[in-house]
Structures are given as C-alpha cells and as structure tokens.
Amino acid sequence: MKRFYKTAALLAAAAAAFSFAGCSGSPSDGTDGDTKTIGVIQYAVHASLDNCYDGLVQGLAEAGYTLGENLTIDFQNAQSQTTTADQLAQNMAAKNYDMIIGIATPAAMSAYAAARDTEIPVVFCAVSDPVSAGLVSSLDAPGGNCTGTSDLLNLEAQLRLIRAVQPEAKTIGILYTTNEANSVSHLKEIKEIAPEYGFEIVEQGVQSGADVPQAAASLAAKVDCINNFTDNNVVDNLSVVLAMAEEAGIPVYGSEIEQVRKGCIASESLDYVALGKETGRLAAEILNGAEAGEVPVSQVKDSTPVVNPDVFGAMQLTIPEAYASAEQVTG
C-alpha cells in the first residue's frame, strides 16, 4: 500500500484540517463540501489488516468521501504494540479529528479509550467480539460514541473443512493471545462445537509475539493440526508457526486467504476487503451526521473455502472432492 501517499495527503490538506482542528468535535454536515480528517490506527502489519484498510478507503469513496479530495486520512500503524496504539489514539483525540477508526481489536480499544469522553466518534473494523471488548453495549444498540464491523469467523465451516481434509484427526491445536478479546471469544466458541465434529481442542496461550516460537513448538508436538484465528500476535509470527508445524509434520489451517497464501493448507476465509468496505460505509454514515451509538454493529459472517495445492502436495494430502472447486492460491 502507498503509505507515503497517505502522509502526503495529510500534509496537503493541513490548511483545511487546521481550520477545524481546534473547534468543537461535533461532526459537520458531510454534504457541505468540507474536507473531513479522520485518524486510522492499524494495529499490526499483516495482509488481512492491510486488506481492511484498502477496503475502508474504497468504501468511503463509494459513499462520497474520496482521499485527496474531500477526505484526509492520518494513517498510523501501531506495529503490534498496545502502548503505541494508546499514544497514537491520544494524539488523534487531542487533534480533535472528525473520527478515529481502529483496525483490529487492540487498536479499536485504544481509540475508544482516548475518545470516550469526547464528541469524536469511533469506528472499529475487524473486531470479532466488540461486546466482550467493552466497545459497545450490544450489537444492535451500541450506545456511547462507538460502532463498527465484526469479523465473526465461521468456525463450524472451518471444522467441516478440517474433518474433510483429515478424516482421522482427533486433536486441533489453538495458539492464541490470552489478553486478546477476539481470540478468547473464538476459543470459547470452538471448544463448544468441536466435539460435534469429533475433535478435541488443545489450547496454548501466549502473552506476546516473543512467546510464539516455544509455544508453537510445544503445541505442534501434541496435536494433529493447528488452527489459526485472526490473533494478531500469531498472524504476525505465522512463519514461525508454519515452520514448527512443518517440523512436526502437521498442517496449519488459516482464517483468511492471505494466511493460506503464506503457507496454511486451507481456510474458510472471510473477505477482509469487503469488511473494510462495510466499515467505510458505516463511517460515511456517521460523518454525514448519524450518531455512532445508534448505528448497529455490522457482522460479516460469510466465508468461502480457499486451499493451497502446494501445501497439500507437500503434506501428501488430497484436496477433498467437496472442496475441488475451492479457490486455489499459492505463495
């Protein structure tokens, strides 16, 4: 993505931004030709979140807010550091932007904490369980100044896929960050439904990315496969997880297409560009005057199967007939 362009766009619109940066945080009418300035905090550098941002810009443009014309974006990446996300959000709130958008749960939580006592609306993208994360009161009636989009993984479809690929498998390993709300929520759900498909879930928690190598090696040694969620620490260190799994001779299943492209064997994948577009639509609605707390959270649930034929070959596994028409990707 053209990060330098985003920075250039911000500088080019600095004069327009300054005219309202010190004024009330109340949103102005999005139809009056004013340039809107929004801050975007992406929690980590990985492809699914990049896709969210790309979709966000597209969705805003489709709703009438075009980058470089009537929209300025201050894009920042927290580099997987919660303290950095907090600082970025506080800076954006101090500048009184028209909106702050957080991509991924930790970034969204930072944005909400910084803007909660202001009139700045917060929109989140790719937050699996916004209620558990404390961002909204409910999906239908968020309350406060926050709403957004939820990437609800289709775990039943994922378990069906794993069963089809590995008919004899009994154990699925889950590597997750213990303080990442979306991962905890997904873990709870998969543990509840896995027995219906004949699986036992073996979980291994980590506190940070530094814990992933040892945890992945330990987990890979005692399961038939590993299943990834959208856990930021795990996805950031996916190459390490894949290496440990390869050494143990087991496949890793992803949660979206970019993970499969990087070496996961297959996934019931969510479309994160589409998720970003929906986030852009919600953001535009709020920029046009809607109250964030009155806009229901939008859940993206539909998944499509994606397989990596190279990994199937390397693992000496066969793509199941039921998935013969699945999208095929390679690294």
Average pLDDT of the chain is 91
Mean pLDDT of 92-112: 98
Residue 159's pLDDT is: 99
**Alpha helices, DSSP H only, in 134-180?**
155-165
Residue 181's pLDDT is: 85
Tell the residue number behind the tokens 């087991």, with chain if given. 250
In 3D, which of 40, 45, 81 has the Cα closest to residue 60?
40
Q: Write phi, then psi, for 229 (nearest 5 degrees).
A: -95, -145
Tell the residue number behind the tokens 């030709």, with chain if given. 33
pLDDT tens per residue, range 251-264 = 999 999 999 999 99
Query: CA-to-CA distance for 86 and 82, rounded, in angstroms?
Result: 6
207 in helix, strand or coil? coil
Q: Name the band, by pLDDT with cuts 50, 70 and 90, for residue 33.
A: low
Query: CA-to-CA distance for 280 and 81, rounded, in angstroms?
Result: 25
Q: Name the band, by pLDDT with cuts 50, 70 and 90, for residue 151.
A: very high
Q: Name the band, by pLDDT with cuts 50, 70 and 90, for residue 25.
A: very low
Position 23 pLDDT exceeds 70: no
Q: Which residue has the higher pLDDT, 56 or 182?
A: 56
Residues 133 and 112: beta-carbon distance below 8 Å: no
Residue 6's pLDDT is: 40
What is the β-pairing status of strands 99-103 and 122-125?
Answer: parallel
Find all residues with CB under 8 Å of 49, minimum gap 6, and list them: 42, 43, 103, 104, 126, 272
Query: CA-to-CA distance for 64 and 145, rounded, in angstroms?
Result: 22
Residues 6 and 75: beta-carbon distance below 8 Å: yes
pLDDT tens per residue, range 72-101 = 999 999 999 999 999 999 999 999 999 999
- For each of the domains in the chain, give its residue range(s) and CATH number, in order of start: 3-152+272-300 (3.40.50.2300), 155-269+304-328 (3.40.50.2300)
